[in-house]
Amino acid sequence: MVNMRRTDTNNPDYYHKVVDCQWACPAHTNVPEYIRLIAQGRFDDAYIVNRESNVFPGILGRTCDRPCEPACRRTRVDGKPVAICRLKRVAADHKSDIKDRIPKAPAKKNGKKIALVGAGPSSLTVANDLMPLGYDVTIYEKGPRPGGLMRINIPAFRLPEEVLDEEIGYIVDMGVTMKYDTPVNSLKELLDTKEYDAVFVGSGAPKGKELVLPGRYDTDQVFIGIEWLESIHFGHIDSVGKRVLIIGVGNTAMDCCRSAKRLGATEVKVIARKTRKYFKASPWELEDAEEENVEILENLSPVQFVVENGKLVGMEFDKFTSQEVDGKLIQEPAGRITIPCDSVILAIGQENAFPWIERNIGLDFDPKWDMPVVDKDTFMSTREGVFFGGDAAFGPANIIWAVEQGHQAAISIHKYCIGESLSDRPPRGQTLASTKMGLHEWSYSNYFDPASRQKMVHVDLPVRFSKMTIEVEKGFTEEQTALEVQRCLNCDIETHFTDSLCIECDACIDICPVDCLTLTENGEEADLRTRLTAPALNMEQALFVSSELKQTGRVMVKDENICIHCGLCAERCPTYAWDMRKFALHLPYAGRPAPVETVAQVAQVTS
Amino acid sequence: MSYLAKPKVHHPSLKPNALGLTRRDYEGALSTLCAGCGHDSITAAIIHAFWELDIEPYKVAKLSGIGCSSKTPAYFLREAHGFNSVHGRMPSIATGAGAANRELIMIGVSGDGDSLSIGLGQLCHAIRRNVNLLYILENNGVYGLTKGQFSASADFGSTSKKGEVNEMTPIDGVTLALNLGATFVARSFSGDKEQLIPILQAGLQHNGFAFVEVISPCVTFNDHEGSTKSYSYTREHMIEVVEADFVPIRSEITTQYEPGSVKRVQMHDGGMVNLRKVAEDYDPTDRDKAYAYIRNCQSEGEVATGLLYIDENGKDMVEQNDVVDAALTNLPYSDLCPGSEALAKLQLRFR
Ligand SMILES: Cc1cc2nc3c(=O)[nH]c(=O)nc-3n(C[C@H](O)[C@H](O)[C@H](O)COP(=O)(O)OP(=O)(O)OC[C@H]3O[C@@H](n4cnc5c(N)ncnc54)[C@H](O)[C@@H]3O)c2cc1C
Ligand SMILES: Cc1ncc(C[n+]2csc(CCOP(=O)(O)OP(=O)(O)O)c2C)c(N)n1
Ligand code: SF4
Ligand code: SF4
Ligand code: SF4
Ligand SMILES: [Mg+2]
């Protein structure tokens, strides 16, 4: 039997993992910190904390895929995560003029020139990180304005133009050279100019998938989702048939069905091959669509477009029955059905296309997927000095991944330009500072608020359908914000244990409302997990294990899973063996390494 | 203590008992004792014991005197009855309550000051009468509430926090109770819930006075070097002479013992206690031998712990006095107070 080793809380990963949201966020946004700042009405500070890691708080506060929310500890406590994403929007909407706090490009350039292809979130992040270091950055953009899919595909009723303009403006205004309506048609030509020290490709995954079935080309009423949305954005399309079918049930499908409603469609049906559990769209996207009376039909697979006299009249589908056996979906054929319709929108996925990258310039493509070979850590291709990020690197993902990959690529580009090894990734650091202010006072609100998740209020249906650009979500009211911020469990205020101080009095164990703590004989992790005050069955959540304690040789074990960070263990501990310490994760950015030394600021312990 | 009430939220795996109540339902008000006080740990053990025995809180009466220990009934079973008496007088209240309602499940919590100084006479007579009560003496060697003066249980030669030496010999609750004929005598430690919880459960099922002394360090006034009631001193000097395993009525016996190593005692109010001797020549059913053994430990500087003596054949107070089977509180008034004629008849017997 191998006993568990003393948990290494000096490794920033340990406490970082306790902050479930920050760990799940691709850019590691310091969520609890900005929520506390909002609670204090410090919207500017909350915005800046966000911007540091995710660059587009106002945009993301409306559109982020929010991997943080399913991870949120609050879900495991009362079923619903903190509305992390929409609180980001609160900070963005209520901040004052923060232009002064945006990093500026120095007057003196560093002499290095970088070209970025595409003006989507990945390229913009690279520019954001490199401009303050003195780089001369040029963005080549095929379209007339910056933003990429955020602008031309995400409909304005979810993301208003002003928000895009403002946050993109903060970056462009640092002095980026913007070349609009300038597609790069040959990477070789761009490289051959030798004008640039490095090139970043952030051109996205611009092609919607085709569905070639009988009848496809016999009508002009079948559209490819992302192209269709783009045409709506540019005003080339302003109407659609009354009865519309959307094929596919991912994120694009959700924007298509809701856009159709705004173009005058009365009957909109989204067609899914599988059952709800397997849909790619997020639960909240489905809810929003259903609120707009969009119907979602399951277990249907397209067979053909039914065209009569050159007019699309319907679409034929194979029907299935579905049942789940041992966690697997088993589908059996159950006949056919034709659903009448006037227009069909295909939203079955996106593909990458790089017709403008030559295959003989030392930039390898994976033969199977026809995708560039890109290093997962450095984001450099096999051609030195050419970097990829965002959807162009590994296929369609989302904005927050594009941002994080932009940060990482910027680190690499900077290292490349100053001749450092790219694979030596800069480490993260942490600070731990006691929050103890007095016998029963902490510098955070440790009270557990039983409030339930606030529901976002939406604009009335007739009003929102009247125009494409009416933002549906109203944003949280002051009252809602005040309640929602208190739901955050302050997972960055860590229960920090000093082994030598514990006298094994059990006080902390007895007071813990959620049975996190146990004093017991050490053992193997699997065995230890069954011997705790409450069994630790969530294997994704770590156990903290102390060294052997001096009085009995037992160890203090904490299951991080359900801890509500109430600080009662530390309040009850007579010796300060438990302290509530604020954990701050320090992330490295291009040209700005993280302070890696662990600085422990400890409250003065007097006895 | 803390200012924040323990939030209502609980772990998803928190189990209900046969009554559908969770451990949290057996809690009481927020403790105002010092952080790390042994008494709080005993409170947690009491909560666990009642929860596991599926006892309905409203059937319980919590009684106590004065002291930090005597404050603790407020911190468990918020739905039970309770009486916080004058210093040292809890046994009288228990005697009265037990006489009036023999169906009450009574738990008394006292301290070494409350029991062995001002209330010593009360304690002795409650034992003598065999009042049906689980009596917990939370022993920390000091008067905690009045800031740490030596109590009657302070060991000879032990020192106070400020360094004063105690020159008086101690009164030992366990040998006292054995001497007075108590039918259930145990000693445990607040820092050892595995031992304490089964003892409390057996004590609750015992018919008669169940005396349980629990060494319960006072972190504020008696947890220093030179104290013989500190966490570390107790851990170094306690020896377990009998291991008690309480088996409630409904559960099957799962623990395997070597044949002959275990004594089984059927408890009056249900359940069974398995007593496993840890010390070779110890017999928890022989009062004289138990007494001698414990005294011997004492002179060796060891603190004997466990369910030290048990006799399930004793008669409790109501049996001794032939009290009617029903609780007096449930009798119709006409039976309880049969009138002047009946009184006159009764008085005749004493003429
Ligand atoms: C309908 C739809 C809705 C979405 N909704 C969300 C959402 O709610 N939340 C979310 O997080 N993500 C969403 N996404 C995904 C998200 O928009 C993308 O993952 C993200 O924009 C990718 O960023 P990027 O920087 O990699 O590229 P893109 O945003 O795709 O930007 C690429 C840019 O490069 C330009 N370009 C391409 N080729 C060239 C070239 N050869 N020369 C010059 N310029 C070129 C393009 O014009 C474009 O401006 C959605 C996607 C779609 C299609
Ligand atoms: C009649 C009376 N005399 C004296 C006191 C003062 N007094 C309060 S608590 C206490 C001693 C309590 O000691 P103990 O029972 O050991 O309780 P602890 O606080 O140590 O748990 C004394 C003497 C009192 N409250 N009432
Ligand atoms: S902070 Fe301490 S008492 Fe509160 S839930 Fe976490 S471990 Fe339990
Ligand atoms: S309260 Fe403090 S001293 Fe007591 S067991 Fe917990 S950590 Fe140890
Ligand atoms: S003074 Fe001692 S006995 Fe009283 S609460 Fe504090 S630690 Fe407990
Ligand atoms: Mg005392």
User: Does A510 sit within 8 Å of B40, measured CB to CB?
Assistant: yes
The predicted pLDDT at position B275 comes to 85
Residues A168 and A215 both lie in one domain: no
pLDDT tens for residues A530-560? 999 999 999 999 999 999 999 999 999 999 9
| Residue at B210 is within a domain | yes
A76 touching chain B per CB within 8 A: yes
- pTM comes to 0.93
Q: Within an 8 Å CB–CB cutoff, is residue B217 touching chain A?
A: yes
What values do phi and psi take at A589, rounded to 5? -130, 170
Strand partners, A350: A208
CATH code, B103: 3.40.50.970
Determine what percent of chain B falls in helix, strand and coil, rounding each to the nearest 5: 35, 20, 45
- Residue B3 in any domain: the answer is no
Q: Which domain holds residue B172?
A: 23-320
Q: Which ligand is nearest to the CA of A509?
A: 4
Instruction: Measure the N-to-C terminal CA separation of chain B; round to a whole number of Å.
Output: 60
The torsion angle over the Cα atoms of residues B31, B32, B34 and B38, rounded to 10 degrees, is -40
Residue B263 scores a pLDDT above 90: no
Specify whether A288 is located in the same domain as A311: yes
Question: Which DSSP symbol is given to B24?
Answer: G
List C-alpha distances in Å: A68 to A21, A84, B211: 4, 8, 55
pLDDT at B274: 87
Q: Does residue B232 sit at the A interface (CB-CB below 8 Å)?
A: yes
Domain-embedded: residue B345: no
Low-confidence winner among A230-239, A266-275, B109-118, B240-249 (lowest mean pLDDT): B240-249
Is residue A507 within 8 angstroms of chain B, CB to CB?
yes
pLDDT band per the 50, 70, 90 thresholds, residue B276: confident
pLDDT value at residue A601: 45
A57 Cβ below 6 A of ligand 1: no
CB contact under 8 A, A515 and B11: yes
The answer to whether the Cβ–Cβ distance between A506 and B3 falls below 8 Å is no
Could you tell me if A604 and A478 lie in one domain?
yes
Ligand 2 neighbours (beta carbon < 6 A): B 66-69, 87, 111-114, 118, 138, 140, 142-146, 151
* Chain B CB contacts of A563 below 8 Å: none
Q: If pLDDT is split at 50, 70 and 90, which confidence band does B210 have?
A: very high
Residues A464 and A528 in one domain: yes
Among candidate residues A349, A372, A403, the one where a domain is terminated:
A349
| Per-residue model confidence (pLDDT) at position A82 | 98
Q: Based on the fold, state whether residues A563 and A442 are members of the same structural domain.
A: yes
Could you give the number of structural domains in chain A? 3
Pocket, ligand 4, Cβ cutoff 6 A: A 502-508, 572-575, 577-578; B 36
**Minimum CA distance residue for ligand 1 atom 17:** A149
Residue A81 in domain: no
A393 inside domain: yes
CA distances from A352 to A5, A406, B227 (A): 46, 18, 76
Q: Which domain covers residue A256, as residue numbers? A: 208-349
Residues A280 and A377 in one domain: no
Domain boundary among the residues A349, A380, A403 is at A349
Q: Which residue of A has its CA nearest to B235?
A: A551
Considering CB atoms only, which of B4, B35, B232 is closest to A573?
Answer: B35
User: Of B4, B12, B36, which has the smallest distance from its Cβ to A574's Cβ?
Assistant: B36
Please give the Cα distance from A417 to A197 (Å, whole number).
Answer: 7
Same domain, A458 and A604: yes
Those residues of chain A that have pLDDT short of 50 are 599-607
Residue A46 included in any domain: no
Q: Which of A572, A578, A579, A607 best tests the B interface by mutation, with the highest count of B CBs <10 A?
A: A572
Residue A385 in contact with residue A391, Cβ under 8 Å? no
* B298 lies in some domain: yes
Residue B272, pLDDT score: 86
d(CA A439, CA A425): 42
CA distance A456 to chain B (A): 25
Searching chain B, which residue's CA lies closest to the CA of residue A515?
B11
Confidence label for B267 from pLDDT (cuts 50, 70 and 90): confident
- Residues A490 and A576 occupy one common structural domain: yes
Q: Phi, psi (5° rounding) for residue A550?
A: -70, -30
- Interface membership of B224 toward A (CB under 8 Å): no
Using the atom order of ligand 1, give the atom closest to the CA of residue A206: 30
CA distance B110 to chain A (A): 20
The reply to whether B344 falls in a domain is: no
Q: Give the C-alpha separation, A221 to B305, whole Å.
A: 87
Inter-chain CB proximity B41 and A537 less than 8 Å: no
E strand spans, A66-216? 113-117, 136-140, 177-179, 198-201, 207-208
In a domain, A58, yes or no: no
Domain count, chain B: 1
CA of B49 to the centre of ligand 6 (A): 23
- Does residue A454 share a domain with residue A544? yes
Encode pLDDT of B142-183 as tens digits.
999 999 999 999 999 999 999 999 999 999 999 999 999 999
Whether B190 and chain A come into contact, CB under 8 Å, resolves to: yes
Q: Is A41 domain-assigned?
A: no
Choose the final residue of a domain: A321, A349, A377. A349
Within a domain: B296: yes
Q: What percent of chain B has pLDDT over 70?
A: 96
Q: Is residue A3 part of a domain?
A: yes
Distance CA A301, CA A348 (A): 12
For residue B175, tell me if it sits in a domain: yes
The verdict on residue A96 lying in a domain is no
Q: For residue A302, tell me if it sits in a domain.
A: yes
Residue B251 confidence (pLDDT) above 70? no
Residue A115: give its domain's CATH number. Answer: 3.50.50.60
A566 touches chain B (CB under 8 A): yes
